[in-house]
Chains A and B, each alone.
Chain A
Amino acid sequence: MKQSRLFFSTDSNRLFLPWMSMLMGFIAVLILAAGMSAYDSITNWQRVVSGSLTVQIPTYTEAGDPRGEVVNREIETALTILRSSTGVKGATVLSDSQMTELMIPWLGEGAAVSELPLPKLIDVMVDSDHYPDMAQLKTDLAAQVPSAVLDSHRLRLEPLLRLSSGGIKLIGFILILLALTASFTVIYATRTSLTAHEHIISLIHMMGANDWFITRQYAARNFNLTFMGSFFGLLLALPIMAGVSFLIHGATLDFIWNPALDIKQWIVLGCVPVGLALLAFVTTLKTVSDYLKRFL
C-alpha cells in the first residue's frame, strides 16, 4: 500500500491544486520570460548606448538646397576632432548601404534612401569606462564644424532605460505576489484537506505516528500535485511565447525587444515547476506542523 493512500482517497484537492498550479505556472513562465528578454534588451541597449555616439553632418541646408563639397570637408574636420578626443576609440562615416539598412525598420526594404535628405552620420566608438567629456566635444565641434550635431544616445535613451528597469522591478514584484498567492493557495488547500481528514489524522496520531510521518505525506503529495500542474502550465505557455516571438519578428521590432532566450534562460523557465513544487512542499510542511500542534 502506498503511504499516501492513508489520507487522500477522497480529497478534492487532487483537482484543485493542480489546476491552480497550472495557472500559476503559466503566468510565472510568461512573466519570467518577458522579464528575462526585457532585461536582455535593456542590457543590449545600455551596451550599445554606452559604447557609441553619433555625429550628424547635414547634407542639405535648411532651405532644402544641397550643401555640396563642404559636407566632405566638414566630415574630415569632424573626424579629426573626434579621433583626437580623449575617450574616443574610433570614428567612421556610415556608408550609403549602412544608412539604407538602418532605415529598413521605418521605411521597409527597397526604399529609395539615397533620394532622401538624410544627413551623413559618423559612428563614434567610445570607451565606456572613460566616457568623453561631452561638453568639451560639443564646444570643439561647434567651433570648427558649426553644422555638426553631436547625438549622445545615452541622453535620449535614459528615460526609456529608466522605464524598462522600472518594468523589470514590476515583473519581480509580480513574481513575488505570484509566489505569495501560490503559498496561500497551498495553505488553503492543505487546511481544507486537514479538516476533512481530521478523524484519520487523529487516529494515526493516537497510534503513535510522529509529526513527520504525517507532514511528509502531505508535503510529498502537494509537491507532486503542484509540479504536475505547473509543468502543464509551462507547456501551455510555450505556444504563447512562440506566438509573441513570431509577432515581434513579423513586425521587425526585435531590434527594440528581442524575445529570443538563451539556453540558461530556458533552464530557468524549466525550473519554474520545480520552484513552485518546492514552495508548495515547504508551505505544506509548515502548515501541517502548525496544525498538528493541536494534538497532544
Chain B
Amino acid sequence: MSTQTKLNAPVAEFNGVSFRYDGGPEILKDIQFTLSPGSFHFMTGESGAGKTSLLSLLYLYHLPTKGRVRLFGYPVDEMARLDRAKLRRQIGVVFQDFRLLNHLTAFDNVALPLRIAGVKESEIRRHVSELLAWVGLENQMKTHPPELSGGEQQRVAIARAVINRPTLLLADEPTGNVDDAMAKRLLHLFLELNKLGTTVVIATHNEGLIRHFGFPRLHLDKGHLSVVPQNQYKEMASKLFNRGGAQ
C-alpha cells in the first residue's frame, strides 16, 4: 500500500474511538472527530483528561482499544509495519518533555528526522542551519541539550518537529517554557507551516494564546471529546473572561 496522502482525505478521522492502557481504566471514550487538511486546532482539557493519549493515537504510538482511526485516509490498524513507518514521517511531534537526545548536539537533534528519511547531508546542513537560526539558536548549533536552557531546548524540539515540513504537526504544550514573546513567535512558525498546508494540533493550557489566535479547539473532559468551533469558542471565551472565570 502506498502511503502518499490520499487526495482530499481528512488528515485524521476518529470513529467511536476508545482507549485504555493494559488493564487500566478507559482514558478516552467514544471519541468522534475529523481533522481536515490545513486545519488548525488547539487541544484543551484538565491534566489527566486524555490529551497525551489522544495525541499518541494521532502519532501512531498506540492503536485504539475500540473504534477506528484513519490517518491521511488509511485505517491505521490495517497498515503494514513499513507503511506505518512511512506515515510517521509525515507527522511532526513536539513532546511536552522535549525528548531531545542529550548525547547529540542541537544540530544533530534537529537533523534526526531528515537522516531517518535519508535526506542528503548537504541539504540537511542547509535546512537545519536555517531553521536553527530562525528559532534564534544559530550560535548554539554545536551545544548539547543539557547545556541549553529550558526555553532553548523547547525551541530545538520544535525545530526538530517541523524540519521535514510535516503534513500533520502535533505539539504537547509547546510554549510551556518560553516567555510570551517567544511563545507568539513559535506560534507564528506553526501558522506559517499551517499556511503551507500543514494540519496543526496544539495541546495547551495557555488561554492567552488560545484567545489570541482563536482557532477551534478539541476539548477533552474525563475522556470525552467535544469540538468547539472557532466562533462559538470566541463567544464562550468572551463570556468566561468577562466573568473573570478563565486564566
Q: Which positions in A face B, CB cutoff 8 Å?
A: 1, 3, 5-6, 9-10, 199-200, 203-211, 213, 296
- Set A1, A209, A210, A296: member contacting B108, Cβ < 8 A: A1
Determine the chain B residues whose CB is within 8 A of the CB of A6 once the complex forms: 101, 104, 112
Residues in chain A near residue B116, CB distance under 8 A: 204, 207-209, 213
Partner-contacting stretch, out of B79-87, B179-187, B190-198: B79-87
Interface residues on B, range: 20 to 34
Are the CB atoms of B88 and A206 closer together than 8 Å?
yes
Determine which of A1, A10, A208, A211 lies in contact with B104 in the assembled complex, contact meaning CB atoms within 8 Å.
A1
Shortest Cβ distance from residue A9 to the other chain B in the assembled complex, whole angstroms: 4
A208 x B82 contact (CB < 8 A): no
Asked whether, in the complex, the Cβ of A5 is within 8 Å of the Cβ of B89, the reply is no
Q: Tell me whether B101 and A208 are in contact (CB under 8 A).
A: no
- B113 at the binding interface (Cβ < 8 Å): yes
Residues of chain B within 8 A (CB-CB) of A203 are 99, 101
B30 to chain A, nearest CB (A): 22
Knowing A1-B108, A1-B111, A296-B62 touch, does A208 contact B88 (C-beta < 8 A)? yes
In the A-B complex, list the 8 residue pairs whose CB atoms are closest, starting with the nearest.
A208-B89, A9-B103, A208-B88, A210-B85, A209-B116, A207-B113, A1-B108, A208-B85
Please give the residue numbers on chain B whose beta carbons come within 8 Å of chain A beta carbons, in ascending order.
Answer: 59-63, 81-82, 84-91, 93, 99, 101, 103-104, 108, 111-113, 115-117
- Chain A nearest Cβ from B217, distance in angstroms: 24
Q: What are the residues of chain A within 8 A of B91 when measuring CB–CB? A: 208
Residue of A nearest to B101 (CB): A200
Question: What is the bound-complex CA distance between A206 and B113, given in angstroms?
Answer: 10
Nearest A residue to B83 via CB reads A210
**A204, A205, A206 pick with most chain B CB within 10 angstroms:** A206
Q: How far is the CA of A208 from the CA of B87 in the complex (A)?
A: 7
Residues of A within 8 Å of B82, CB to CB, are: 210
Which residues of chain B have C-beta atoms less than 8 A from A5's C-beta?
A: 103-104, 108
Q: Enumerate chain A residues within 8 angstroms of B104, measured Cβ to Cβ.
A: 1, 5-6
Nearest Cβ distance between residue B87 and chain A, in whole angstroms? 8
User: Which residues of A sit under 8 angstroms from B113, Cβ to Cβ?
Assistant: 207-208
Which A residue's beta carbon lies closest to that of B76?
A296
CA distance A243 to B89 in the complex (A): 59
Contact residues of A: prevailing secondary structure: helix
In the bound complex, CA of A199 to CA of B82 (Å):
20
Find A10's partner among B89, B99, B103 (CB 8 Å cutoff). Answer: B103
B10 → A minimal CB distance (Å): 20
Interface contact A296-B63, CB-CB below 8 Å: yes
Residues of A near B103 (CB, < 8 A) are 5, 9-10
**Pair B99/A208 contact, Cβ less than 8 Å:** no
Residues of chain B with a CB closer than 8 A to A208's CB: 85-91, 113, 116-117
Q: Are B88 and A207 in contact (CB under 8 A)?
A: yes
Closest-by-CB residue of A relative to B108 is A1
Chain A min CB distance to B53 (Å): 14
Smallest CB-CB separation from A3: which chain B residue? Answer: B115
| In the complex, residue of chain B having the shortest beta-carbon distance to the beta carbon of A292 | B81
**Chain A residues in 8 Å Cβ range of B88:** 205-208
When distances are taken between beta carbons in the complex, the residues of chain A under 8 Å from B90 are: 208
For the complex, give the distance between the alpha carbons of A3 and B115 in Å. 9
Cβ A207 vs Cβ B89 within 8 A = yes
Q: B70 CB to closest chain A CB, in angstroms?
A: 15
A288 smallest CB distance to B (angstroms) = 14
A213 to B111, CA, bound (A): 15
Contacts of B85 in A (CB 8 A): 205, 208-211
Chain B residues with Cβ below 8 Å from A9 are 103
**Residue numbers in A under 8 Å from B81 (CB-CB):** 210-211
Residue of B nearest to A210 (CB): B85
Q: In the complex, A210→B89 CA distance in Å?
A: 10
Name the distance in Å between B37's Cβ and chain A's nearest Cβ: 19
Query: How far is B112's CA from A6's CA once the two chains are assembled, in angstroms?
Result: 9
The listed residue with most A CB atoms (<10 A of its CB), out of B87, B103, B111, is B103
- Across the interface, which residues of B come within 8 angstroms of A3, CB to CB? 115
Q: Which residue of chain A is the closest to B121 with respect to CB atoms?
A: A1
What are 16 A-to-B residue pairs whose CB atoms are below 8 Å? A1-B108, A5-B104, A6-B104, A6-B112, A199-B99, A204-B112, A204-B116, A205-B85, A205-B88, A206-B60, A207-B112, A208-B86, A208-B116, A211-B81, A213-B116, A296-B63
Q: A1-B108, A200-B101, A210-B82 are in contact. List 15 more A-B contacts (CB 8 A).
A: A1-B111, A5-B108, A6-B101, A203-B99, A204-B112, A205-B85, A206-B61, A206-B88, A206-B93, A208-B90, A209-B116, A211-B81, A296-B60, A296-B63, A296-B84
